[in-house]
Amino acid sequence: MSMAAMPPLILASASPRRQQLLARIGVTADAIVPADIDETPIKAELPRVYARRMAAQKAQVVASQHPDSAVLSGDTVVAVGRRILPKAESEAEARMCLELVSGRRHMVLSAVTLMLPDGRSLHRLSESAVIFKRLHADEVDAYIASGEWQGKAGGYAIQGSAEALIRSMAGSYSGIMGLPLYETRSMLVTAGLLSPAA
């Protein structure tokens, strides 16, 4: 695909973190168009399946509105076993999430979809394992008071003060933040939207 023929790139997310992460690989979306979809998990839906479905649906909704553009979308899911943790919207939800991940291993699944004007779609899934220290009540209280948990999957943001409470992680740091850069760059290069030398 020649540079002149490259379609506009739309990021189907209002997340400032995803925009910042894209900038790390030299990519700036031509437009930000958040996808308005129902993010309720289907009963008994597994976390990996849910993450992939959310990313794909976000891309499909925006691509249907902008058929001449390439659409990049992502979804990040925090899971304890088969349980999908919510994007915390209240202190009670955040507290519940932190109590569930305290002292135990959990998974962060970050799915990415790229839909192209020619009908092709590319999908990737990044899987990371994170272990928090066993959290004391005062540590949970302090983190709740910070407000960093608001709207975050699993009730925490690794790029904030929660990082100091994480004993170990294996996988993609950028994926835990919300957009796995290795997988995203690979898709953009494959699609001809980013030079391999970039």
Active-site residues, by number, are: 75
Residue 101: how many CB atoms within 10 A of its CB? Answer: 22
d(CA 71, CA 12): 7
Beta-sheet pairing, 166-170 with 83-84: unpaired
Beta-sheet pairing, 83-84 with 31-32: unpaired
Q: Phi first, then psi: give them for residue 147, nearest 5 degrees.
A: 75, 0
DSSP 28: -
d(CA 171, CA 64): 33
